[in-house]
Structure 1
Amino acid sequence: MKISIISFDYWNYDCHIAKKLQEKGVEATHINMGTYRYKNFGEKIYNAASKIFLNRNIKHVKRQEYVLEYLSKIGFQDQILVLNPHTLDYTTIAKIKSYTNHLITYLYDNLGRYPVENKLELFDQVYSFEDKDVLEHGFDKITNYNYLSNKPKSSQKNHQDLFYITSYDKKRIKTLRKIVSKLAQLHIKYKIVIVGKQVWKEKLNRFLTQNSNFKDVCLIKKPISIDEVLIEYEKSDVTLDLIRDGQEGLSFRVFEAMALEKKIITDNPSIVEYDFYDPQNILYLDKNLANLDTTFFESPYNKLPNDIFKKYTLDKWVETVFNLRKDNCK
């Protein structure tokens, strides 16, 4: 069986899908648009001018050409999975469809953030982690996945109570401001990193000078690697997860915490509906943060039952999305 995964792998999550399929004997290929680079400096200058004067991103076009050229080399695929189709034009997806009889997409984000309804008719199957979109459009529901091997907490050395990394988002920063103030009152040792471009950093710096509790928040311009993030998770007892406007589905943080046996604090109300929810491991924040206290940090992690843990692994995810059975993998 031949399967291709097409994506712009921002955080190095999608490559794990191809690796897991290969472990199962599938001839799997990951076509990562993020690996496309300008051929020379002149092409970079030309694209910059095109964006300014023509409002046309040549690199966006070149990335899509790269995908089609890659497919032309590897030929027809039994299945193709496109992750987040907003990164591709309608005509490109139509051409991708000609390389398979079963074209799938998984929406990492809700339709409110990336309205791609006009492209979805091209897909034979649409998966989403957002309950609202699933109910309104009849998508197949699936969560994000745990791509890590289980690493018991007992094998890790912790140095801080809580870690959080986030891109700049107005809603998150507003919530984070309240949380940091409460953590300071509770004498909780934390590390918080906010990633943003220079304009965001300037706004944040002005904000921080007016909020002394934010003095320990780290501001960086470029994202750090997922490997570095995981090191920080391992050093922490608790991870923080704050949702963006319109989000209902569970982020990868929830499943990373699951693999590393970390507690998680979140403002996502949907988390209490899942079978892995345990108030000893997961703190769903009250609006006024009244339930955020030292008790949650002091109590031990309650290990998940094995059957529930396996349900959210990447192994189970690929079996579901690609309808795999032992007799059709090779």
Structure 2
Amino acid sequence: MTRKTIILAMPPSNGIVELIEKNLQFHGYQVLRLDSVLKFKYNSIWERIYHFLHKNITRSSSYKKTLREKQSFHKAKQLLADNLYDYALVIRPDIYPPKVLALLKKHTKKRFIGYQWDGLKRFPVKNIIHLFDRFFIFDHTDLNNPDYQNHQLYSITNFYFDVIKPDYVQNDMLEAYYIGDHQKSRVAMIEQCAEKLAENGVSIKFIIPTSKKSDIKCYKSKHLTFGKKNRLSYQDNLKNVSTADILVDFVIAEHNGLSFRHFEALYYKKKLITTNKHIQYYDFYHPSNIFIWDNKNLGEINNFLMKPYSPINPDIVAKYGFKNWIENILGINS
């Protein structure tokens, strides 16, 4: 049986690109990755000097931007050569120059797919969305974004990586796990949650991967871990997911869609504490498994911790796996 071919273009993102590639291969795809075209370096010392002078005289980085776009296009052309691929999937298409996207489309036989796994308000795609055959967003509220009313958008959730099988661990005491970049808007929530869980006898593994002193000063809790050394690859992150009993998620203010953490909790059969209220409308929501923290009900968390995990219908769990996700996004069954 001939393997389906796909171009995968996305940012490196702490090793997620490797996992997506591995998951695609696991499900029978031959993959060409294009994250390498995003790497930039000056071809000569003269280019670096010219950029320095241009930037300081004109107060503009347009010269470097032009160099970067030309370099990305040249690298993509070399990688693609004269080959055609069944599909192309571009995640975070806003980071790719339009010329590169147009080139990818020329090398795609069936469907050229875009997926914005961040909110459209944070990373707009209005100037490039017309290039795609289908365009997906993870935040369902973006379907009502007035700036995109003339474009056909499709809503889809994130997923869990089904190429990795859960490895269940029995801990002596409950362990809660959270990792997330520093965001001022969620400092108070992180600290309050860590303190309340610790009061209830839960072991805390909360990681904020930053070494900036100005960031670290925002936090007072002794239960947090900092430093660039804690910037885990996504595969190492999943090892922590596997060994924890409770996963914790703090939604970014601009987001309404569900982060990967929600689907990892479902797949690994972990309890979840989240500030994302939209989760109550999903078919896998169960109050014994998921605690929606609204900043007022932390006093109820002890009752939640005492309840046993309630198993979810396997068909519902499978619905959010990578296999179903990729078939939906590529329109394999439609």
RMSD after superposition: 2.9
Whether the 8 Å CA contact 2:198–2:204 is kept in 1: the answer is no
Alignment partners' CA distance in 1, 2:256 and 2:50:
36
Output the amino acid matched with 1:226.
Y
Alignment partners' CA distance in 2, 1:314 and 1:34:
25
Q: CA deviation at 1:259?
A: 1.9
> 1:11 is matched with which residue?
14
Instruction: After superposition, give the CA deviation of every residue in 1:72-103 in whole Å (9 maximum; x if it has no partner).
Output: x2612222111111111222212222222431
> 1:142 is matched with which residue?
156
Q: CA deviation at 1:121?
A: 0.9
Query: Any idea what SS the aligned residue of 2:199 has?
Result: helix
Query: Any idea what SS the aligned residue of 2:303 has?
Result: helix
1:159-178 pair list within 5 angstroms:
160-178=174-192
> 1:107 is matched with which residue?
116
Query: Any idea what SS the aligned residue of 2:121 has?
Result: coil
Alignment partners' CA distance in 2, 1:172 and 1:5:
32
> 1:156 is matched with which residue?
169
Q: CA deviation at 1:68?
A: 3.1
Alignment partners' CA distance in 1, 2:320 and 2:10:
21
Specify which of 212, 235, 238 is matched with residue 243 of structure 2.
Answer: 235
Whether the 8 Å CA contact 2:112–2:132 is kept in 1: the answer is yes
> 2:306 is matched with which residue?
298
Query: Any idea what SS the aligned residue of 2:180 has?
Result: strand
TM-score (norm 2): 0.83
Could you tell which deviates more after superposition, 298-307 or 220-229? 220-229
- List alignment gaps of at least 5 residues for structure 2: none
Alignment partners' CA distance in 2, 1:44 and 1:215:
47
Query: Any idea what SS the aligned residue of 1:12 has?
Result: helix
Report whether the alignment pairs 1:219 with 2:226: yes
Whether the 8 Å CA contact 1:156–1:235 is kept in 2: the answer is yes
> 2:216 is matched with which residue?
205
Alignment partners' CA distance in 1, 2:169 and 2:44:
45
Report whether the alignment pairs 1:321 with 2:329: yes
When the two structures are aligned, how many residues end up with a matched partner? Answer: 317
Report whether the alignment pairs 1:22 with 2:35: no
Whether the 8 Å CA contact 2:15–2:235 is kept in 1: the answer is no
Whether the 8 Å CA contact 2:9–2:35 is kept in 1: the answer is yes
Alignment partners' CA distance in 2, 1:38 and 1:254:
37
Q: CA deviation at 1:249?
A: 0.7
Specify which of 283, 289, 294 is matched with residue 281 of structure 1.
Answer: 289
Q: CA deviation at 1:152?
A: 5.7
Whether the 8 Å CA contact 2:26–2:163 is kept in 1: the answer is no
Whether the 8 Å CA contact 1:5–1:30 is kept in 2: the answer is yes
Output the amino acid matched with 1:317.
W
Identity, % of aligned positions: 26
Could you tell which deviates more after superposition, 169-178 or 131-140? 131-140
Alignment partners' CA distance in 2, 1:50 and 1:164:
44
Whether the 8 Å CA contact 2:274–2:290 is kept in 1: the answer is yes
- Gap change, CA 1:215 and 1:91, over 3 Å in 2: same
TM-score (norm 1): 0.84
- Gap change, CA 1:306 and 1:115, over 3 Å in 2: same
Instruction: After superposition, give the CA deviation of every residue in 1:4-61 in whole Å (9 maximum; x if it has no partner).
Output: 1111121323344444443444333222237847589969966984896452355565
